[in-house]
Structure 1
Amino acid sequence: MNNVLSGVWALLLGIVLIMLGNGMHFTLIGLRGGIEGFSSTELAIVTSGYFMGFLSGARYTPLLIQRVGHVRVFAALGSFMSAALIALPLLAEPWAWTLLRVLVGFCMSGIYVTSESWLNAAATNETRGKVLSAYMMAQTLGIIGAQGLLTLGDAGTSVLFICASILVSISFAPILLSAAAAPVVSVARPMSLSNLFNVSPLGAIGIFLLGGVYAIQSGMGAVFGTQIGLSSTHIALFVAMLFAGALVMQTPIGWLSDRMDRRILICGLSVMGAGSSMMGWMAGDALWPLIAAAFFAGGVTTPLYALLLAYTNDSLSAEDMPGASGGLVFAFGLGAILGPLAAGGMMEGIDPYAFWLVIAATFVAIALYALYQMTQQAMVPVSETDSYLNILPTASPLVVEVAGEWAHEHAEDEHEAREHEEEYEGEPALESERESTLEPELPGAELPATRQ
């Protein structure tokens, strides 16, 4: 692993710094929005604005890179994002925040595409799986670390927003200084949602609904904490647990994914997410039950994303995977835009605890649809499924596409290795059977009986 990281550590450091800045601003929106007196619906629109920008950035950034190159696009997007983060406390109006968040989302999506293309170019076929895993871990650790930085300042001032801007700005240095020749970026045209649904109904519907869950957790979690009266430190801890759970649960879920019917696992994890959300709803403002609920509800969300990607790839040919990856990212983005709007409306119409009810209802819908699909389609044999890889919902279509191809190739290699193993194990048994068959025919085989 050290050999793998030696060639990409600077890129990963840059990603950690970016996620520190972006993770800080996500939670700051909820904290500062509460101070400014924004309603749940207004903050939900602001949250959806980020995902609108993110979705459009995933579509148009590759075209910009092809026209003017990686470095120019990366530098321009970084400059715009830093400026937007500083402008947030200066323009504390819902409409201004929505526009700025659209810009931040667009820039972050483009930053992901460019940095991930460099990261992919730095990996080889043998190291790509480990590099992608390290990249996802760097992202998660950056988001969790950002919550710790929030405890060092006051969201009522501009200091934390400026710190987030500084972190994003300095993150470009290790990335640009370590990046080699700019690779070619070609993201396949996304598969239409209708075609994606025909190929994998559970993949299309599940990832759409999960987009809503992820956006509510990451975008509205701090809003929920503010409205029920948690302190800034406890809100930061609450948001951190949403991502820490995924870091802990990703590996065992991935292990199970490669050894059982993935629809059963999708259903089981969704039930777990719904149960954890209901626990959070019943916890009221009790801190530690809320932390536990966040750990488990957030802990199944990210693995479910990777699981739905793997499940969809099981139904695809290698030629269809690139287009399907773009379609899945698009479906997830649509869900991420609509999810906060539904949660914000419910939180304002009922009470802040509707945050948990919307998440629980969405998890239940995924579980029920997974159960329904088990009655409609036969199980794909485990030996024919692709490998699981822990892809985060923040990944660009480029990484989703690359990860899908790697998982397919890795599964084929493992299948061939198992076949060779079985052949090798079968050879001694076959040789033993031949010897036992030939033994009575040997010339001296009956000599002891003749002597008696």
Structure 2
Amino acid sequence: MFQVLYSVWALLLGIVLIMLGNGMHSTLIGLRGDLEGFSAASLAVVASGYFAGFLSGARLAPVMIRRVGHVRVFAALGSFMSAGLIAFPLVTEPWAWTIFRLLVGFCMSGIYVASESWLNNSATNETRGKVLSAYMIAQTLGLIGAQGLLTLGDAANSALFIGASILVSVSFAPILLSVSPAPAIEVAPPMSIRKLFENSPLGTVGVFVLGGTYAIQLGMGAVFGAQIGLPPAQIALFVAMLFAGALVLQFPIGWLSDRMDRRRLIFGASTIGLVACALGWVAGDGLWPLMAAAFIAGGVTAPLYALLLAYTNDFLSTDEMPAASGGLVFTFGMGAIMGPLLVGWAMESVGPFAFWIVLGVTFAALGLYALYRMTQRPAPAAADTESYLGVLPTASPYTVEAAGVWAAEQTESETDAGAGDE
């Protein structure tokens, strides 16, 4: 494992620094927006702007890389992202923040595509699972650590925005100075939503719903905390709990995924998420019940995404996985754009605790649809299912594709080994 990490340490370090900067910025939007008197609906539009940019970047970044190369795209997107982060306190208007957030989302998506293609190129079939797991952990630790950095400054001034910009600027040094060769990048055209739905209705609908779930947590968690009157340090802790849970729950959910009907597990994890939202709703402003609710609700979200990807791949051939990956990322992005808009409207109409109501509805919808799909067709045989691999919702189509192919190869290897023992 040490040798595997040593070969990609520069990329992992760069990703941690990027996530520190981007994670600070995401929470700062809620903190500073509340201080500026922005409504929940306005901040929801700002949050959706990020995911609209992210979705655009996932589609256009591979084209840009093929035209001018990894290094130029990486450097250009890093410069624009750093500039976007530092521009927020200069023009404190919702329309301007939406544009800046769209720019940051576009750049962040392109950075993911470039860095993840480098990461996958440096891995072999034997090490790809470990490399992708390390990458997921690096991203999550960066997001969690970013919340701690927020306690070092005041959202009312520009210092934290400048700090986030500096972190992103510095993050490119270890990556661009790495001796790793830039790989060729090929991302298959995305599969149509119709064909994706025909292959896996639950995977398609589930990924769309979960896009809203994840975007609500990432984009509106800090807004909720600010509107119920939590101090900045507690808001940062609340957001950190949303991501810390994924580190703890990813392994047990992944372990169960390879040993039972995945639809049952999707239903069970969704039910746990719904119960956590109910706890958050009845907790009021009680600190530790809120933190527990965030830990559990956030903890099941990322594993559910990986679980839905694995379930979808169960009904695809290896040749279909690349196209399906692009379709799933697009579906997730559309849900992510709509999620904050829905919760922002609800918080504006009902109050800040509508955050938990809408979040709970997404978990309930996913769980009920999984329950319905269990009545429509039998579960695939265990020997025909693909291996589970933790993939974060922020993963680019390149990594979703690589993870699917890796899972298929692992399953074939295990099947061949089992046949050889007989």
> Which TM-score band (shorter chain)?
over 0.9
Q: Does residue 144 in structure 1 map to residue 144 in structure 2?
A: yes
Change over 3 Å in CA distance of 1:179–1:59 after alignment to 2: farther
How far off is 1:122 after superposition? Answer: 1.0
Tell me by how many angstroms 1:418 deviates.
Answer: 2.0
User: How far apart, CA to CA, are the structure 2 residues paired with 1:20 and 1:225?
Assistant: 20
**Displacement after TM superposition at 1:337 (Å):** 0.1
Query: What letter corresponds to residue 367 of structure 2 in structure 1?
Result: A
Q: Aligned in 2, Cα 1:301/1:162: closer, same or farther, shift over 3 Å?
A: same
Partner of 1:450: none
Normalised by the size of structure 2, how large is the TM-score? 0.99
Alignment of 1:171-250 (within 5 A): 171-250=171-250
Q: Matched residue of 1:376: which SS?
A: coil
Give the secondary-structure state (helix, strand or coil) at the position aligned to 2:288. helix
Deviation at 1:419, TM superposition (A): 2.2
Aligned to 2:161: 161
Q: Secondary structure in 1 aligned to 2:392? A: coil
Map of 2:88 onto structure 1: 88
**Count of matched residue positions in the alignment of Structure 1 and Structure 2:** 422
Distance in 1 (CA, whole Å) between partners of 2:348 and 2:168 is 33
Partner SS state of residue 285, structure 1: coil
* Separation of aligned partners in 2, 1:177 and 1:199: 43
Which residue in the other structure is 2:112 paired with?
112
Q: 1:179 to 1:335 in 2, by over 3 A?
A: farther
Q: Residue by residue, what CA displacement relative to the aligned partner does 1:299-358 show, whole Å, maximum 9, x if unpaired?
A: 000000000000000000111100000000000000000000000000000010000000
- CA-to-aligned-CA distance 1:198-241 (integer Å, 9 cap, x gap): 11000000000000000000110000000000000000000000
| Cα distance in 2 for residues equivalent to 1:40 and 1:301 | 23
Written as runs of structure 1 = structure 2, the 5 A alignment for 1:224-303 is 224-303=224-303
Report Cα offsets for 1:385-404 as digits up to 9, x if no partner. 10000000011000000000
Hey, what does 2:103 align to over in structure 1? 103
Q: Contact 1:25–1:161 (CA<8 Å) still a contact in 2? A: yes
> Could you tell me which residue of structure 1 aligns to residue 378 of structure 2?
378
Question: Residues 232-286 of structure 1, C-alpha deviation per residue, up to 9 Å, x if partnerless?
Answer: 0000000000000000000010000000000000000001101100110000000
Residues 381-433 of structure 1: per-residue CA shift (max 9 Å, x gap): 11211000000001100000000000110111112212223x1xxxxxxxxxx
TM-score, normalised on structure 1? 0.93
C-alpha separation in 1, matches of 2:181 and 2:392: 26
Deviates more, 1:261-270 or 1:375-384: 375-384
1:23-34 pair list within 5 angstroms: 23-34=23-34
Question: Which ranges in structure 1 are unaligned for 5 or more consecutive residues?
Answer: 424-452
Asked if structure 2 preserves the Cα contact closer than 8 Å seen for 1:11 and 1:179, the reply is no
Q: Name the structure 2 match of 1:41.
A: 41
Shift of residue 362, structure 1, vs aligned partner: 0.8
Deviation of 1:181 (Å): 2.1
CA distance in 2, matches of 1:174, 1:221: 31
Q: Is the 8 A contact 1:303 1:390 kept in 2?
A: yes
Q: Distance in 1 between matches of 2:21 and 2:379?
A: 43
Deviations 1:103-152 (A, max 9, x none): 00000000001111111111111111100100000000000000000000
Query: 1:375 aligns to what SS in structure 2?
Result: coil
Amino acid of the residue matched to residue 326 of structure 1? G
Matches within 5 A, 1:424-443: none
CA distance in 2, matches of 1:202, 1:265: 13
How far apart, in 1, do the equivalents of 2:246 and 2:362 lie? 18
In 2: Cα distance, 1:134 partner to 1:372 partner: 35
Unpaired stretches in structure 2, ≥5 consecutive residues: none
Letter in structure 1 aligned against 2:243: F
Structure 1 CA distance, aligned partners of 2:353 and 2:271? 19
The more displaced of 330-339 and 408-417 is 408-417
Q: Which residue of 2 aligns with 1:429?
A: none
Aligned-residue offset at 1:179: 4.5
CA distance in 2, matches of 1:42, 1:135: 33
SS in 1 for 2:226: helix
Amino acid at match of 2:121: A
Contact 1:278 1:356 in 2 (8 A): yes
Aligned to 1:415: 415
Counterpart position of 1:324: 324
Q: Let me know the Cα RMSD of the aligned residues.
A: 0.6
In the other structure, the counterpart of 2:58 is: 58
Instruction: Indicate yes or no: 2:351 matched with 1:351.
Output: yes
Runs (4+) off by over 3 Å? none
Structure of greater Rg = 1
Asked if structure 2 preserves the Cα contact closer than 8 Å seen for 1:118 and 1:179, the reply is no
Looking at structure 2, the residues matched to 288 and 331 of structure 1 have their Cα atoms a distance apart, in angstroms, of: 34
How far did 1:26 drift? 0.4
- How far apart, in 1, do the equivalents of 2:6 and 2:189 lie? 34
**1:134 corresponds to which residue?**
134
Q: Percent identity?
A: 70
DSSP 3-state at the match of 1:137: helix
Q: Output the CA distance in 2 between the equivalents of 1:145 and 1:196.
A: 37
- AA partner of residue 159 (structure 1): A
Corresponding position of 1:170: 170
CA distance in 1 between counterparts of 2:122 and 2:386 reads 24
Q: What is the rounded CA distance, in whole Å, between the counterparts of 1:420 and 1:354 in structure 2? A: 56
CA distance in 1, matches of 2:177, 2:119: 13
